[in-house]
Amino acid sequence: MSGAQKRKRKQREEALVQHQAGDMFKYFNSSKITQGEEIVENLGETSVEEEETWNDNVNEQGDLVDELNEDKDDHVDVNELNEKEEDNIQHKDSLINFYDLGCWDKIDQNVRDLLVEKGPKRVDGVLFPKDSSGRHFELSQYKRVLLNGETNDRRWLVYSVLLDKVFCFCCKLFKTQKTMSKIGPLGNEGYRDWHNMGRGLKNHEASKEHIYCMTSWIELETRLNKNKTIDQSVQIEINKEREHWRQVLKRIIAVVQRLAKNNLAFRGDCEKLYVENNGLFLQMIEMIAEFDPIMKEHIRRIQAHETHYTYLGPKIQNELIQMLANEVKSSILRKVKQAKYFSVILDCTPDASHEEQMSLVIRCVDYSANSVMVEEYWVEFLKVDDTSGLGLFTELKNMLTNLELDIDDIRGQGYDNGSNMKGKHKGVQTRLLEINPRAFYTPCGCHSLNLTLCDMANCCPKAMSFFGVIQRIYILFSSSTKR
């Protein structure tokens, strides 16, 4: 391939990765959260909406696992797709925006069934862009007014936000090579002549090609609703396979949740099942397989080399940990936004790699519990290169912007007694007070007490001698096991 083709494919892959971010939340119910710890209270209940959402990511080619994962290490990563299968990449690229007809390229029978089952999705509440003459698409075009005054819904008309064009849903799906030239732009590249939109829509819906596609759409939709399609037996097998993977994934999420909640290490010296020192994660999977038939079947497939997609590798573990962490952070932010007003607490500490890290703690009133309580939540570590007052304040301001928290809602700030934090002219508290005068500054009480005790001890010779003797006695006995 040429360089332009490679760049184009890379852009499609990056867009697909961004589109699939957070798709793991579609597989379980995370609505019940308590104090930011219990992420998924009820993994076993799946609503009808979740069933439909799952179908968006299920491989409709008849091979479920190829759509669930294109990575042998069980990580949804299109960067490792088989480069020889360009058609498969283009098919996945069409899922970037599933309901935008501008992304539809090649549509096979399985994808057509899924799209018909979902139905056309319209865009509402969007500011439609204007063309050079100042015209744009209007929502009134979705309705057709008959001569007798009745109004019919043009259900087949769909607007593409990506291309700023309108398409015919049924003609886009059911057109053939013979009817492609007669079906018009609504069924092919899209229609954007806003000045003649009314006349174009009337001519299109009166054409026999559109009527044929409309009939095919209604017939297929009816058969799908009654589960009387031609490949009904194949669809039953796909549903069974889908349910198997859903149950496997729920158990893996439960294991990841428990290990992460107890701050335990996941991996060991080896990443294989039934091997010594393979880590707590795989050992818990092995234990579950001894009593659970679903996990036992999953491990049997792995050992029999019936599947290469185990979902037990380190990448999927890290991805699940990150998703659970994001859910905890989201629950904390919901409580903070509900309380509206909050305080910030900052402190910097070098880590093991000698990099300065600033911990951000938010203090607010928690209304979610039965009794109203003041809670403190650690939010995130911030890596800082500039430890001056301006650098730390810039990091704080950027983080609040990323968390979608208003700096004007801060009612308190607490730091240590360092000059870069409490400085009256260039400290963090001064810079914050210049923007928000209501952010009352309070120095850290423990840090102030520590400094006070150190000064008291240093100004008294007896105290210095006393603590010096105790320190030497401690060193004498702690350096020897016999003593």
Q: Mean pLDDT for each 10-residue chunk of the chain (483 residues)?
A: 85 78 60 41 40 42 40 42 43 50 70 80 77 85 83 86 85 81 81 86 87 87 72 75 92 94 91 91 94 94 89 92 92 92 91 86 87 90 88 92 93 89 89 93 87 85 89 91 84
89 within a domain of the structure (yes/no): no
pLDDT, position 408: 94
Q: Measured on CA atoms in the order 441, 446, 449, 450, is the torsion positive or negative?
A: negative
Give the CA-trace dihedral at 264, 269, 274, 279, to 10 degrees.
0
Whether residue 436 is contained in a domain is answered as yes
Q: The CATH number of the domain where 418 resides is what? A: 3.30.420
410 three-state secondary structure: strand
**Is residue 366 one of the residues assigned to a domain?**
yes
Residue 62 forms part of a structural domain: no
Residue type, 299: I
In a domain, 11, yes or no: no
In a domain, 242, yes or no: no
Is 225 within the bounds of a domain?
no
The letter for the amino acid at 205 is E
Question: Considering Cα of 168, then 172, then 175, then 178, what sign does the dihedral take?
Answer: positive
**Domain tally, the chain:** 1
Residues 51, 56: Cα–Cα separation, whole Å = 9
Structure tokens at 260: 């992460």
- Residue located via tokens 């139905």: 119
Q: Is residue 313 part of a domain?
A: no
CB-CB neighbours of 287 under 10 Å: 12
Residue 110 vs residues 12, 160, 345: alpha-carbon distances, Å? 22, 22, 54
* List of residues 6+ apart from 122 with CB closer than 8 A: 142, 158, 159
Residue pair 294/251 in contact (Cβ under 8 Å)? The answer is: yes
Dihedral, CA atoms, 183, 189, 193, 198, nearest 10 degrees?
40
Structural domain for 437, as ranges: 340-443
pTM to 2 decimals?
Answer: 0.52
Q: What angle do CA 470, 475, 479 make, to 5 degrees?
A: 155
Q: Which residues contact 387 (CB under 8 A, 6 or more apart)?
A: 348, 356, 420
